[in-house]
Structure 1
């Protein structure tokens, strides 16, 4: 996606904790739209091939989670992690990672990912359809900056990581702030 592009309008099927339900699984379905996540705020969105996978769990997600204060200092209101996984998987991954700052977005059907042009086949890993790794700075539902890993294709033999890293996005935010101040 190019800077200035509007994010596609998609409805995400999420599961949210609701103590009024009681029992061992007090969650209910809640539909949230692209606007619910991005309208009226400046956010970082990063997407990855799958919850619980090595690069995603070891570097990318923890980097955004641990760097949240630095992102806030650069004018970011929220950080979202999106994957073509269902709400159950995304919630369990968030819990396993001890997330307090990054919010997860389940794109279980891959609709959002398809509409931003990042849906790829990962049959070579037994994953099926998944997201290519990317990040973006989103300002009120529009792309401000796009960070896409090189080599976008189906069944890529590697898992490129660097362009969409928290360090790369943060460096862009700092540079952009300096340019605006000059």
Structure 2
């Protein structure tokens, strides 16, 4: 993916809270499209191999959560975390991580990830098809800036992390701000 490319138009199967539903699981299915997440907004999208995994849970998700205000100062309307996990998993992970500012996008079938060119096999870890780690700044559905971890390949022996970190994206946004001011 390169800047200037539109994100794929797909439908995501999400579960949303509905207080009209009684019981211990007050959620209903709601289809959301790429437009629901990206149209008319400037957002950060970051994708990772899986909810509940060490790097994702220890660094990446908390890093974006803790820097939410700094991203807003740079004109970012929202931050989305996408993974090839179903909505049940993504919602529970968000809850258990205590995340308040980041919205999760469940790409359970991997369709968005595949069409982004980022679907890789992680059979060596027993994961199956998952997303390669990346981040993007998306402006009204179009990729403005792209941050992909090096070495994309099936069954990669390592889990590179750094290029797609919140700190790296904030550095990019700060440099962009300084360039525009000059």
TM-score, shorter chain, exceeding 0.5: yes
- SS of match in other structure, 1:169: helix
SS class of match (2:8): coil
Any stretches of 5+ residues in structure 2 without a counterpart?
none
1:13 Cα deviation from its structure 2 partner: 0.2
1:57 matched residue in structure 2: 57
Offset at 1:180? 1.1
Match of 1:126 in 2: 126
RMSD: 0.4
> How far apart are 1:177 and its partner, in Å?
1.1
Gaps of 5+ in 1: none
Superposition pairs for residues 138-157 of structure 1, below 5 Å?
Answer: 138-157=138-157
The 2-side partners of 1:145 and 1:61 are apart by 19
Runs of 4+ in structure 1 deviating by more than 2 angstroms, as ranges, are: none
Cα distance in 1 for residues equivalent to 2:22 and 2:170: 41
1:143-177 deviation per Cα after TM superposition (whole angstroms, max 9, x unaligned)? 00000000000000000000000000110011011
Query: How many corresponding residue pairs?
Result: 182
Taking the aligned partners of 1:143 and 1:77, their CA distance within structure 2 comes to 15
Match in the other structure for 2:22: 22
Counterpart position of 1:180 = 180
SS in 1 for 2:114: helix
TM-score (norm 1): 0.99
Show CA shifts across 1:3-25 (max 9, x none).
01001100000000001011100
Question: How far, CA to CA, are the matches of 1:164 and 1:74 in structure 2?
Answer: 17
Write the mapping of 1:19-168 to structure 2, written as runs, cut at 5 A: 19-168=19-168
